[in-house]
Amino acid sequence: MSRAALPARPQPDDSPVRLSALHARARRAAAIRHASERRRRGDPTTTDRDYSAAEVEFMTAMHQYKLRFGHMFPTWGEVLEVLQSLGYSKR
């Protein structure tokens, strides 16, 4: 039975097997929701501070890079690439 075949809510005539599948699906969805909420909160030591314009520019550039290339965790070489695209260079 595919996931698409299961109704979104339990029905009065559902068998115990079908109810078990619905409950398992609901538990998985709740676990995923809980994990994503935990990730969204961020680091409490850095979220409440005021960032300089340069820091905001860098964080925005890194966020755009991650969205564009689909890399959640860029390599240091990729971070250097973003910095250089912002105009930073070694003196």
Per DSSP, helices labelled H in the chain are 16-41, 44-47, 53-69, 76-85
Token pair in block for residue 80: 């250097």
Q: What pLDDT sits at residue 31?
A: 79
Q: What pLDDT sits at residue 29?
A: 79
Q: What pLDDT sits at residue 62?
A: 93
Residues of the chain with pLDDT under 50: none
Q: What pLDDT sits at residue 85?
A: 95
